[in-house]
Amino acid sequence: MEPVISNHDCTRQQNYSIAQMMITSGIANQPALFAYKKKYTLPYFAAEQGRLDAARLLPGEVEIKFIHVTLHIDLIELRKPCCLNFQMLKGNIKDGFPKNQLEALYELAGGGYYATSINNNWDDVASMNGLMKAFVLNPGRLAALLAGDNMNATFPLQINDDSDAFDLLHASFLTARQTGVATNTKLTADNGVHTDYMDLCGDAQIALVGFPELLKLFVFATVKDIVSPPGSASYKLDAEMDVTFVKKAGLIVTIQAAGQVAKTLTTDVNGNVHFEHLDPAKYTVTITGVGIITQTFKKDVDTGTNAHSEVLMELVPPPPPPPAV
């Protein structure tokens, strides 16, 4: 799947705000625009508004990531009873079968997937669940497990219910993991919004010739400065270490927008930096530090949004051991 590339030099919020102003200005000057091109009717602008509203409603990168992260957390909670079920089943097998068969039976019941399942390998949790279900569905093995009041008769149903609950959420997780599809959909809609109002700008420069004050309402750079004045934005970043969540001081944070000089700050004892009086724009953020894996990502910084990032940093892994002689 080829990633969709943004076709506009502005943030998502700026794109939407500019589009809204253009639609409003288009409606106000509809007669003159209609005199030039008959497509500029009030229903035309209503349709433009509909496309803009639809683009706004699509989830952006933050929402897409949030959905995925939330499902990840929920899967951990559903994984726990599944792993406990294996430990309980293993205990039932130990008491219900001859010792010389135990290791083979543990594997048959899903034991080969247990170690990776407790470390949140979701595919292996699903595989372990499938083997546990198959194990207790076998009439001969089920009879051996139930003999002598060894296993609770409702336990197979518990294994099945916990497995089904996990599988249902796992399917949603796999769908949410396709973040590239959702991101492409959002970017395609954003690009369409931009293309629509830039076409309007071009036509307005002809339809409104001789009215310089009106023409300003259809100039991208002018409207961009109106909706987000230079110097009106800020950006905060919090950095902490992965796993330990210790705040990381001394990291070098560099931000740069296209065509602008890079700005650099160093994280304080709380792992924070705060860039003030920024021009609203798309910024490339780079975080570096001694012994730390460098991170680089994009960030929209807009007027009035308190742009903020919380970043987990990772240590550079140690070099692999030398090959055995």
Q: What's 5's DSSP letter?
A: P
Average pLDDT for the chain? 91
51 and 72 assigned to the same domain: no
50 and 185 assigned to the same domain: yes
Residue 166 has pLDDT above 70, yes or no: yes
186 and 44 assigned to the same domain: yes
Per-residue tokens: 21:
């102003």
Domain residues for the domain of 130 are: 64-176
* Per-residue pLDDT band at 87 (split at 50, 70, 90): very high
141 and 165 assigned to the same domain: yes
Residue 222 has pLDDT above 70, yes or no: yes
Q: 255 pairs with which residues across the strands?
A: 263, 285
What's the rounded mean pLDDT across residues 30-36?
A: 97
Q: Is residue 206 part of a domain?
A: yes
Separation between Cα atoms, residue 74 and residue 71, nearest integer Å: 5
Q: Is residue 262 part of a domain?
A: yes
* Per-residue pLDDT band at 96 (split at 50, 70, 90): very high
Q: Is residue 71 part of a domain?
A: yes
Which region among 65-79, 124-138, 202-216 has the lowest average model confidence (pLDDT)? Answer: 65-79
Residue 67 has pLDDT above 80, yes or no: no
* Per-residue pLDDT band at 62 (split at 50, 70, 90): low
Q: Where is the domain boundary, 194, 227, 260? A: 227
Question: pLDDT at position 65, please?
Answer: 63
Beta strands in the chain (DSSP E): 233-241, 252-257, 263-266, 272-278, 281-288, 295-301, 307-313
Question: pLDDT at position 66, please?
Answer: 64
Question: pLDDT at position 68, please?
Answer: 63
76 and 166 assigned to the same domain: yes
Give the percent of the chain with pLDDT over 90: 75
188 and 89 assigned to the same domain: no
Longest dimension (CA), the chain: 98
Question: pLDDT at position 178, please?
Answer: 52
What's the rounded mean pLDDT across residues 147-163?
A: 94
128's CB contacts (< 8 A; 6+ apart) are: 82, 83, 86, 110, 113, 114, 117
71 and 158 assigned to the same domain: yes
Q: How many distinct structural domains can be found in the chain?
A: 3
Question: pLDDT at position 125, please?
Answer: 94
Q: 315 pairs with which residues across the strands?
A: 292
Q: Is residue 319 part of a domain?
A: no
Q: 295 pairs with which residues across the strands?
A: 287
Q: Is residue 320 part of a domain?
A: no
Model pLDDT for residues 262-294, shown as the tens digit of each residue: 999 999 999 999 999 999 999 999 999 999 999
Q: Is residue 1 part of a domain?
A: no
Question: Who wins on pLDDT, 70 or 95?
Answer: 95
CB 220 within 8 A of CB 194: no
Residue 238 has pLDDT above 60, yes or no: yes
Model pLDDT for residues 184-215, shown as the tens digit of each residue: 888 999 999 999 999 999 999 999 999 999 99
Per-residue tokens: 87:
């430990």
92 and 29 assigned to the same domain: no
Which region among 113-122, 168-177, 208-217 has the lowest average model confidence (pLDDT)? Answer: 168-177
* Per-residue pLDDT band at 164 (split at 50, 70, 90): very high
193 and 45 assigned to the same domain: yes
Separation between Cα atoms, residue 194 and residue 7, nearest integer Å: 8
171 and 183 assigned to the same domain: no
Question: Who wins on pLDDT, 237 or 59?
Answer: 237
Residue 181 has pLDDT above 70, yes or no: no
165 and 185 assigned to the same domain: no
Residue 8 has pLDDT above 90, yes or no: no
Separation between Cα atoms, residue 208 and residue 125, nearest integer Å: 65
Per-residue tokens: 280:
């609203």
131's CB contacts (< 8 A; 6+ apart) are: 108, 109, 110, 113
91 and 166 assigned to the same domain: yes
Helix, coil or strand: residue 233 = strand
What's the rounded mean pLDDT across residues 145-161?
A: 94
CATH code of the domain covering residue 273: 2.60.40.10
Q: How many helices (H) and strands (E) does the chain have?
A: 12, 7
Question: pLDDT at position 277, please?
Answer: 93
Q: Is residue 146 part of a domain?
A: yes
The pTM (predicted TM-score) of the whole model is 0.58
What's the rounded mean pLDDT across residues 302-309?
A: 86
Q: 308 pairs with which residues across the strands?
A: 236
Separation between Cα atoms, residue 83 and residue 117, nearest integer Å: 7
